[in-house]
Amino acid sequence: MKIAQLSAKAAILLGASTIAAKAEDLVVYQTWSSPAEVAALNVLHKAVSAEGINWIDITIPHNTGSSVSLLNLVVGGQPPNIFSENNTGVFRDLTEMGLGRDLTDAFIESGGLDHFSDVVRKAITVDGEIRQMPLGVHIDGMVYYNMEVAAAAGVDPTSWTSLDDMMSDFEAVSAAGYVPLAVGAQQWQIGYLTHALMGTLAGPDLYADVYGEVPDPAAFDSAEVRSVFEWLRKFEQAADDGSVNRDWNMTTNNVISGQALMQIHGDWMKGEWRAAGKEPGVDFGCMPIPGYKAVVVTVDGWGALGGQPENVDAAMVRFAQIVTDPIVNAEFASVKGATPVRNDVPTDGIDICAQRVLGLLADEGRQVNNPSVTVDSDWQNAIWEVAFNFWSDPEMSVDDAIAALHSQHDIILN
């Protein structure tokens, strides 16, 4: 979809009426639909409603092409006011359409800017402007495991110092009647597992060569990138037959219910465990992928659409300040399974898994941003496609996967 075409339509639609009918009405386009996500949304909904803002919801479930749907709403004459989006390219597209909204002043006014960590500020900043309201911090590759299953299988995940250590216990887990690793084999989930492994095995510099603004194709031939695909194959072989196209939260439930030992995924998994009445450190354990050289950090961010009437714009600013309030943010993060984005939240609600994440975030030399912040979206989608095709086709070799990366790079970025 060409920006020039969108811009012409956007100029027309902002002169017409939108869904938002009055100043206190805000249309919120978001992509969360799991039980824990809905519970976390309710925390925000309650907080903004208490301030007289009427939340009108548009939900497009995750991994359904949310950015395209957002742009379709914009050019179709029914633009949202607030929208869920992490991809830097989408914010640049909106800016070219005259619909960008800088939130820097909103967070200076609220004091929030002084309490966002460096990794949060980096994730929400686009071309020098704060364009997103941060809601929660996640680590994309965490190991969440069922402590009862681990005990029954006679394994201790806390003893693992490498992926090889982890793999060496898979036989014992299988022999005890459990699936070693629960996986949701959807393209986006395999894509996330791929970049989590890239951070783990390659470290910040080589990760940037693959997932940076200007990828270096020479990195594709490195031993580390080969190792990423080798581990994808090992994990594919360890996954259960029901993994194909399984939603992430259904996969989490396989671990919660004791069918599988663990899941490697974003630590929003914690929200599902908490929603099931399970406690960290009692029912489940959490840790980064063993032997990690870097962890991949996601900051859930929502944007505000520019070009709105003054009263609507003021309501959007207030919305951004409310959802990043320290009390609201702490409650939201607890329910969502996230770590708060602020460093001044009440500490009594910080569980041991969130404390672990805070420890990881304190080590700035071993953290990288989610690719949605750093790379061209077409390149990210190409990596997802290559990784998913590799996962889905046992006959596809590591050499084939690396050749496919080179081919996609030549097509998209050369």
Residue-wise pLDDT tens digits, 108-140: 999 999 999 888 998 999 999 999 999 999 999
CA distance 150 to 163: 17
Confidence check: pLDDT of 21 > 60: no
Helices 310-323 and 326-336 cross at an angle (nearest 10°) of 70
Buried b (16+ CB within 10 A) or exposed e, 127-149: eeebbbbbbbbbbbbbbbbbbeb
pLDDT at residue 10 tops 60: no
* Torsion region of 98: left, alpha or beta (phi above 0 gives left; psi -120 to 50 gives alpha): left
Per-residue model confidence (pLDDT) at position 143: 98
| In the predicted structure, residue 86 carries a pLDDT above the cut 80 | yes
Residue 368, pLDDT score: 93
How would you class 76 by CB atoms within 10 Å of its CB: exposed for 0-12, middle for 13-18, buried for 19 or more?
exposed
Stretch 61-78: mean pLDDT, rounded? 73
- What local confidence, expressed as pLDDT, does residue 14 receive? 45
Indicate if the pLDDT at residue 7 is higher than 50: no
- The DSSP element (H or E) to which 299 belongs, if any, is strand 295-304
Q: Domains in the chain, please, with CATH?
A: 3-136+299-350 (3.40.190.10), 142-296+369-413 (3.40.190.10)
Rounded Cα distance between 277 and 274, Å, is 5
Band the pLDDT of 168: cuts 50, 70, 90. very high
* Through-space distance between the first and last CA atoms of the chain, rounded to whole angstroms: 20
**Mean of the pLDDT values across residues 187-196?**
97
The pTM of the full predicted model, rounded to 2 decimals, is 0.86
Q: What is the mean pLDDT of the chain?
A: 91
Residue 212 has pLDDT above 90, yes or no: yes
CA atoms of 231 and 164, how far apart (whole Å): 10
pLDDT at 88 over 50: yes
For 214, other C-beta atoms within 10 Å of its C-beta total 9
**Confidence grade of residue 66 (pLDDT, cut at 50, 70, 90):** low
Of the spans 96-105, 333-342, 372-381, which averages the highest pLDDT?
Answer: 96-105
d(CA 412, CA 81): 32
Asked if the model's pLDDT at residue 67 lies above 90, the reply is: no
How confident is the model at residue 65, as a pLDDT? 55
Q: CA 200 to CA 368: how far, in whole Å?
A: 10
The closest of 395, 387, 414, 397 to 405, measured between CA atoms, is 387
Radius of gyration of the chain (CA): 21
Angle at 227 between CA 242 and CA 209, to 5 degrees: 110
The predicted pLDDT at position 34 comes to 86
* Cβ–Cβ < 8 Å for 217, 237: no
Per-residue pLDDT band for 347 (boundaries 50, 70, 90) equals confident
- Look at residue 117 in the predicted model and tell me its pLDDT: 84
- Six-digit token pair at 298? 């996601």
Give the pLDDT of residue 362. 86
Please give the average per-residue pLDDT across 309-313, as a whole number: 93
Cβ proximity of 318 and 51 under 8 Å:
yes
| Phi (first) and psi of residue 384, to 5 degrees | -55, -45
Give me the torsion for CA of 347, 348, 354, 356, rounded to 10°.
80
Q: How confident is the model at residue 239 (pLDDT cuts 50, 70, 90)?
A: very high
- Binned at pLDDT 50, 70 and 90, residue 13 comes out as very low
**pLDDT for residue 25 is more than 70:** yes
Output phi, psi for 390, to 5 deg.
Answer: -65, -45
What pLDDT digit, counting tens, does each position of 248-305 carry?
999 999 999 999 999 999 999 999 999 999 999 999 999 999 999 999 999 999 999 9
Cα separation, 69 vs 75, in Å, equals 10
Q: Which of 1-5, 53-57, 381-385 has the lowest mean pLDDT?
A: 1-5
User: What percentage of the chain reaches a pLDDT higher than 90?
Assistant: 78
Residue 8 pLDDT exceeds 70: no
DSSP string of 100-157, one letter each residue: ----HHHHHHHTGGGGB-HHHHHHHEETTEE-EEEEEEEESSEEEEEHHHHHHHT--G
Query: 59: which DSSP letter?
Result: E
Q: How high is the pLDDT of residue 69?
A: 77
Q: What local confidence, expressed as pLDDT, does residue 281 receive? A: 95
Q: What is the pLDDT of residue 118?
A: 84
Closest listed residue to residue 210, CA positions, set 294, 147, 279 = 294
Confidence of residue 60 (pLDDT cuts 50, 70, 90): confident
pLDDT reading at 12 higher than 70: no
